Chain A
Amino acid sequence: MVTASLELSGPDASRAYIEAAAAEHPSLLDPTHLLDSLFGVVNIPNVVWIDEDGIIVRPPEPGWPADPAILRPAALQRSGTSSGERADDDDPEAQRRRRLMELLGSGQDRAAYADAIRDWVTNGPDSPYRLAPDEVVAASQPRSKAVSEAAAHFELGNHLWHDGQRDGAIRHFNAANRLQPGNWTYKRQAWSLVGNERVGGERGRFVQGPLPGEEADWPFESDFATDVHKLELGQYYPKTI
Chain B
Amino acid sequence: MITHHLDIEAAEFTAATGWEIKPEGACKADICVPLGPGAFNVGSTAERLGMAVVHDPNAGMWALGPESFSGRALATAQAPELVLSDLAGNEFRLSSLRGQKVVLVAWAPY
Contacts and interface: CB of A to CB of B under 8 A. Distances in A.
A104 interface: no
A188 B61 CA distance: 25
Interface string B78-102: 1110101111000010110111111
Interface residues of A, number: 82
A92 interface: no
B79 A54 contact: yes
A87 interface: no
Contact of A138 (B50, B64, B72): B72
A168 B55 CA distance: 12
A168 B64 contact: no
Given A4-B84, A50-B102, A142-B72, A156 B107 contact: no
B47 to A, nearest CB: 10
15 contacts: A4-B105, A13-B109, A28-B92, A35-B106, A41-B106, A45-B107, A46-B105, A137-B72, A137-B76, A142-B73, A148-B52, A148-B65, A160-B59, A185-B108, A189-B108
A86 interface: no
A95 interface: no
A165 interface: yes
Which 3 pairs from chain A and chain B are nearest by CB? A40-B73, A148-B65, A133-B77
Interface in A29-49: 29-30, 34-35, 37-41, 44-49
Interface string A10-27: 010111111100000011
Interface string A38-66: 11110011111111111111011001000
Q: Say which size band chain B's interface belongs to.
A: 35 or more
Contacts of A140: 72-74
Task: Give the interface centre of A13, A50, A133, A150 by most chain B CB atoms within 10 Å.
Answer: A50
Contacts of B76: 133, 137
Contacts of A226: none
A98 B64 CA distance: 41
A1 B2 CA distance: 30
A2 B105 contact: yes
A54 B98 contact: yes
